[in-house]
């Protein structure tokens, strides 16, 4: 047991004589040699600054000291996305056993009070180690499947309707007190099968449990909290006893009681009693706070609010973005079981970790323009508010359902609602985060249902699990259509309301939807990333077009509204490279032109080799010549001038990176010429998928084991891995569905892969550590083990 952590003593855990840690960390040690920086020493998760905005409070750490020791808390603090995810992923090195431990140790007096109630909170799921945890989780998961959750939809809708009815004519309400606390509590009790008596009492008790577990109560408060927690424990015991007498009734807790008969070692008495108490909090406070946070952030961004009012199909992704931007779990805990390393920091066994998941959700390395609230963010659902891996929130889809239904009800019935003037207060604690009150105002005379009662019958279809790709598209207006070369059109796209478009990095692309054809196509961005007033793409009319480029050429005109998705970047440039050779064939110049501009701005040594049929078929020649002068080499075939890759790349150079985009044949030729170059020197972007249709008579079924989630699945011969994963309620992003975009990448721990995508590099394919779930399969029909 880590002495510092339990006592909270302000001492540094590092031997001050040994500077190794400070140096490996790259952080300057303070004058006395202590490697705890000034800011780390000040870190206080009970301070108002943390409570108001945890990711902002630790921005400095995310940028400069991503893993640091907090002497005030006695915990190591982890702030970056990849580090937090890596910790969640490995539940052996990073045990969840302290997830429900009191972060502030109790006084002896408070402990005596708890003992007088026989308080004995033990292991549930969230704080249980393997192998006990997974055995229990697997037994108890059935009521969380999408099929089972659908049964709760009518109740959530009914409650949302009734509660809004109560105040819709008042013009002012505290949504937390008048709805958001009670409805999720009622749903939680219904899910668990607990009678709805004593709701007020339960509310008080569950706040006490939060303060007891994640807060810093004063010695006097500790005594009050101990009584409330003791009472909560006893009430949980009584409810459990009643349930045992009627085990065939509804709810998840009775489901567990029934399973106990056959699995007494897995579903223990201690589990049931502890879960009865912890389950109410897990299912209730998280969702109540989550909805209050979501409404607050949406009302603070009136454009986003207006958009979801006008188009409810945006709600599922808006929910994900709210959970990312302003989630209800700010941080979560793990215990380090053996000496290890997080990022470049050595962490000794016995250390305690506070992973600031809300900070991970604001990490620029993962989320482009992370500080921007964007309800169309394409990877919003990769937020870590539900945790990740084997302990990932089992109730996430129930929570998503509630959030979606609440937002739907409010946007339909109170679209004119505004935040009232107020100061927001948060219960001082590290983890559970939501405003204590949320005052809103509106003019009841403007209530849409007064004019049109029919709106009450409208209902958006519920989407359980990940938002669809279509929920993340955004409308743009075509401002300019310009011929830039033979058969090549450049489109300049602006936002309909003149607001800035999302920031992007060179190599990024967007998907553009071709009207109502159901077709969408990906095009690299070629404008200046610094200019957020527009996005530019160039479209070659492809003679083998499957409808996309031909449709765009024939139909698009200035003033048209089109829908795009992204920007997204799977062709990122390493801006720390010393030298870059850019190679473009034909329309492949589009991402290369944005990258070359960036290379010039950053002072990187670079050259561009641009080939085409003829100068007239090559876009942007004049601009490129003006900007890049003699760094640009042009090869026009009709002038008898061809790029000789073998000569250009004859001498491998460890300091040079190659970025290439162009036709398949050109890229294949390049790959051959780069065989003697260092692995990963060559980065390519393909135009087309090389994927064919899935033919079940030629495919083999195979097994996959999901290491982090602890489950196994069969991928049938007529099914993709992605379909099998999504069918099992495992969140995996996807977009193109044909091995082009890289969104469905999953990590592979074991097994040979038949790679069918055009995203991974040659060496990545040989290494077989990653695969695209939408198209790639097991090479020999043998089992694959995935890090999911
Ligand atoms: C676990 C967040 C709603 C039941 C968790 C964890 C987090 C979390 C952070 C720990 C994850 C980890 O250690 O990797 C949330 C949030 C919610 C929410 C933010 C709402 C917005 C719910 C609901 C239920 C629920 C509605 C139940 C009906 C559980 C259970 C676990 C869990 C049973 C333990 C899973 C395990 O350890 O295997 N949740 N939760 N949660 N949550 Fe939720
Ligand atoms: Fe695009 Fe798989 S979804 S590569």
Report whether residue 734 contacts ligand 2, using a CB cutoff of 6 Å: yes
For the beta sheet containing 711-715, the strands, ordered from the edge strand earlier in sequence to the opposite edge, are 711-715, 702-706, 784-786, 745-750, 770-772
Instruction: Give the atom of ligand 2 at the shortest distance from the alpha carbon of 740.
Output: 4
Give Rg (Cα) of the chain. Answer: 28
Does residue 290's CB lie within 6 angstroms of at least one atom of ligand 1? Answer: yes
Using CA of residue 520, residue 525, residue 527, residue 529, what is the dihedral sign? positive
**Does residue 255 have its Cβ closer than 6 Å to ligand 1?**
no
The Å distance, Cα 91 to ligand 1 centre, comes to 16
- Give 286 Cα–ligand 1 centroid separation in angstroms: 8
Q: Is 486 exposed, middle or buried (0-12, 13-18, 19+ CB in 10 A)?
A: middle
Between CA 240 and CA 246 the distance in angstroms is 10
Ligand nearest to the CA of 331: 1
> How far is ligand 1, taken at its centre, from the CA of residue 302, in Å?
30
Angle between helices 396-413 and 269-300 (to 10 degrees): 30
Confirm if 61 and 38 have CB atoms less than 8 A apart.
Answer: no
* Residue nearest ligand 2's atom 4 by CA: 739
143 lines ligand 1 (CB under 6 A): no
**What distance in Å separates the CA atoms of residue 331 and residue 361, rounded to the nearest whole number?**
11
Cα-to-centroid distance, 705 and ligand 2 (Å): 20
- Ligand lying nearest the CA atom of residue 760: 2
Residues across the chain: 788
* Of 286, 323, 406, 730, best ligand 1 pocket probe by most atoms within 8 Å of the beta carbon: 286
Alpha carbon of 369 to ligand 1 centroid (Å) = 27
Question: The tokens of 605 are what?
Answer: 């040594």
- Ligand 1 centroid to Cα of residue 337, in Å, is 23
Report how far residue 347's alpha carbon sits from residue 597's, in angstroms, rounded to the nearest whole number.
Answer: 42
Whole-angstrom Cα distance, residue 578 to residue 416? 54
Q: Which ligand 2 atom sits nearest the alpha carbon of residue 735?
A: 3
Q: How far is the CA of 282 from the centre of ligand 1 (A)?
A: 6
The reply to whether ligand 2 has any atom less than 6 angstroms from the CB of 193 is: no
Is the minimum distance from the CB of 125 to ligand 1 under 6 angstroms? yes
pLDDT of residue 31: 45
Q: Which numbered atom of ligand 1 lies nearest the CA of 327?
A: 19
Query: Tell me, what's the pLDDT at 734?
Result: 66
725: number of Cβ within 10 Å: 24
Taking the mean position of all CA atoms in its chain, how far away is CA 300? 21
DSSP structural state of residue 519: -
Q: DSSP secondary-structure letter at 198?
A: T
* CA count, 13 A, side-chain hemisphere, 56: 11
Cα–ligand 2 centroid distance for 730 (angstroms): 16
pLDDT confidence of residue 13 = 58
739 lines ligand 2 (CB under 6 A): yes
Distance CA 60, CA 511 (A): 34
Cα–ligand 1 centroid distance for 387 (angstroms): 8
| Type and span of the H or E element at 684 | strand 682-685
Using CA positions, which residue lies closest to atom 34 of ligand 1? 126
Whether ligand 1 lies within 6 angstroms of the CB of 761 is answered as no
329 lines ligand 1 (CB under 6 A): yes
Q: Whose CA is closest to 394, among 96, 145, 152?
A: 145
Ligand nearest to the CA of 746: 2
Distance from residue 750's CA to the centre of ligand 1 (Å): 29
C-alpha of residue 744 to centroid of ligand 2, in Å:
5
Q: Determine the residue of 282, 287, 318, 331 to mutate for testing ligand 1's pocket, defined as the one with the most ligand atoms within 8 A of the Cβ atom.
A: 282
User: Which ipTM value was assigned to this complex?
Assistant: 0.93
Question: In 219-258, which positions are buried (b, 16+ CB within 10 angstroms) versus exposed (e)?
Answer: eeebbebbebbbbbbebbbebbeebeeeeeeebbbbbbbe
> Is the CB–ligand 1 distance for residue 399 below 6 Å?
yes
Find where tokens 């004049």 sit.
622
Per-residue confidence (pLDDT) for residue 187, from 0 to 100? 95
The pick from 470, 688, 742 for probing ligand 2's pocket by mutation, whose C-beta has the most ligand atoms within 8 angstroms, reads 742
H or E stretch including 491? strand 488-494
Q: Which ligand has the shortest distance to the CA of 279? A: 1
How many Cα atoms sit within 13 Å of 599 on the Cβ side?
29
Sheet holding 172-174, edge to edge: 172-174, 439-441, 418-419
Q: Which of 206, 359, 393 to mutate to test the pocket of ligand 1 (most atoms within 8 A of CB)?
A: 393
- Which atom of ligand 1 lies closest to the CA of 289? 21
| Bridge partners, residue 426, by sequence | 435
> Distance (Å, rounded) from C-alpha 343 to C-alpha 86?
9
Q: Would the CB of 742 count as within 6 Å of ligand 2?
A: yes
**What 3-state class would DSSP assign to 67?**
strand
Identify the nearest ligand to the CA of 711 by its number.
Answer: 1
Cβ of residue 610 lying under 6 Å from some atom of ligand 1: no
- Tell me how far apart the alpha carbons of residues 458 and 595 are, in angstroms, rounded to a whole number: 47
What is the C-alpha to C-alpha distance for residues 159 and 609, in angstroms, rounded to an integer? Answer: 64
Atom number in ligand 1 closest to CA 188: 28
Short-list 31, 3, 44, 35, CA closest to 16:
35
Residue 465 has what pLDDT? 59
Which pair of structure tokens corresponds to residue 126?
Answer: 């969230």
Distance 694 CA to ligand 2 centre (A): 15
Instruction: Ligand 1, residue 136: give the atom nearest the CA.
Output: 38
760 Cβ inside 6 Å of ligand 2? no
For residue 732, give the ligand nearest its CA. 2
Quick: pLDDT tens for 337-382: 999 999 999 999 999 999 999 999 999 888 888 999 999 988 898 8
Residues of the chain with pLDDT under 50: 1-10, 16-32, 689-691
pLDDT of residue 711: 85
């Amino acid at each position: 047991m880590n002495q510092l952590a339990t006592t909270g003593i302000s001492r540094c855990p590092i031997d001050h004589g040994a500077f190794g840690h400070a140096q490996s960390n790259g952080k300057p040690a303070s004058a006395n040699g202590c490697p705890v920086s000034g800011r780390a020493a000040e870190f206080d998760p009970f301070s108002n600054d943390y409570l108001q905005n945890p990711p902002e409070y630790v921005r400095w750490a995310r940028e400069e000291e991503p893993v640091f020791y907090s002497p005030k808390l006695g915990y190591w603090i982890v702030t970056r996305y990849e580090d937090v995810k890596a910790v969640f992923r490995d539940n052996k090195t990073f045990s969840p056993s302290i997830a429900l431990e009191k972060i502030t140790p109790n006084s002896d007096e408070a402990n005596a009070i708890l003992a007088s109630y026989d308080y004995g909170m033990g292991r549930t799921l969230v704080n249980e180690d393997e192998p006990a945890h997974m055995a229990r989780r697997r037994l108890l998961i059935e009521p969380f499947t999408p099929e089972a959750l659908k049964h709760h939809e009518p109740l959530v809708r009914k409650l949302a309707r009734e509660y809004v009815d109560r105040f819709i004519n008042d013009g002012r309400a505290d949504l937390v007190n008048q709805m958001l606390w009670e409805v999720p509590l009622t749903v939680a009790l219904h899910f668990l099968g607990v009678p709805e008596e004593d709701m007020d009492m339960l509310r008080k008790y569950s706040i006490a449990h939060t303060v007891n577990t994640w807060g810093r109560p004063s010695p006097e408060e500790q005594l009050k909290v101990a009584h409330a927690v003791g009472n909560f424990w006893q009430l949980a015991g009584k409810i459990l006893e009643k349930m045992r007498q009627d085990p065939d009734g509804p709810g998840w807790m009775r489901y567990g009681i029934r399973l106990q008969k056959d699995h007494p070692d897995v579903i223990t008495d201690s589990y049931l009693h502890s879960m009865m108490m912890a389950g109410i909090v897990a299912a209730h406070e998280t969702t109540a706070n989550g909805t209050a946070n979501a409404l607050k952030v949406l009302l603070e961004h009136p454009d986003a609010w207006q958009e979801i009012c006008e188009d409810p199909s945006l709600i599922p992704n808006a929910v994900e973005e709210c959970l990312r931007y302003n989630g209800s779990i700010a941080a979560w805990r793990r215990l380090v079981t053996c000496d290890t390393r997080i990022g470049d920091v050595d962490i000794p066994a016995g250390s305690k970790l506070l992973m600031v998941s809300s900070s991970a959700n604001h990490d620029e390395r993962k989320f482009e323009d992370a500080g921007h609230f964007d309800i169309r963010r394409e990877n919003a659902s990769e937020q870590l508010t539900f945790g990740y891996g084997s302990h990932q929130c089992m109730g996430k889809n129930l929570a998503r359902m509630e959030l979606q239904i609440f937002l739907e009800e409010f946007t339909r019935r109170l679209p004119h609602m505004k935040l009232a003037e107020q100061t927001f207060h948060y219960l001082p604690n590290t983890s559970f985060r939501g405003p204590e009150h949320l005052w809103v105002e509106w003019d009841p005379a403007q209530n849409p249902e007064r004019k049109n009662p029919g709106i009450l019958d409208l209902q958006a279809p519920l989407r359980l699990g990940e938002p669809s790709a279509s929920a993340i598209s955004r409308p743009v207006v075509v401002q300019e259509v310009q011929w830039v070369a033979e058969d090549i059109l450049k489109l300049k796209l602006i936002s309909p309301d003149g607001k800035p478009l999302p920031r992007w990095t060179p190599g990024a692309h967007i998907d553009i939807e071709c009207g109502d054809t159901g077709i969408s196509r990906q095009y690299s961005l070629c404008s200046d990333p610094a200019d957020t007033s527009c996005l530019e793409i160039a479209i070659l009319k492809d003679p083998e077009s499957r409808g996309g480029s031909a449709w765009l050429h024939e139909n698009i005109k200035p003033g048209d509204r089109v829908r795009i998705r992204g920007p997204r970047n799977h062709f990122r440039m390493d801006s720390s490279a010393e030298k870059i050779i850019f190679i473009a064939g034909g329309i492949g110049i589009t991402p290369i032109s944005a990258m070359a501009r960036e290379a010039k701005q950053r002072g990187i040594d670079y050259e561009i080799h641009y080939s085409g049929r003829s100068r007239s078929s090559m876009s942007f020649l004049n601009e490129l010549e003006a900007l890049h002068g003699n760094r640009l080499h042009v090869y026009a075939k009709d002038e008898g001038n061809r790029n000789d890759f073998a000569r250009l790349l004859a001498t491998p150079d460890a300091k040079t990176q190659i970025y290439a985009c162009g036709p398949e044949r050109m890229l294949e030729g390049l790959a051959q010429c780069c065989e003697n170059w260092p692995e990963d020197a060559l980065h390519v972007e393909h135009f087309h998928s090389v994927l064919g249709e899935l033919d079940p008579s030629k495919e083999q079924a195979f097994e996959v084991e999901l290491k982090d989630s602890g489950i196994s699945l069969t991928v049938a011969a007529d099914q993709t891995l992605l379909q099998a994963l999504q069918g099992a309620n495992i969140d995996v992003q996807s977009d193109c569905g044909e091995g082009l975009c890289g969104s469905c990448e999953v990590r592979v721990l074991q097994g040979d892969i038949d790679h069918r995508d055009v995203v991974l590099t040659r060496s990545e394919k040989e290494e077989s550590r990653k695969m695209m779930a939408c198209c790639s399969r097991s090479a020999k029909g043998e089992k694959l083990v995935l890090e999911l």
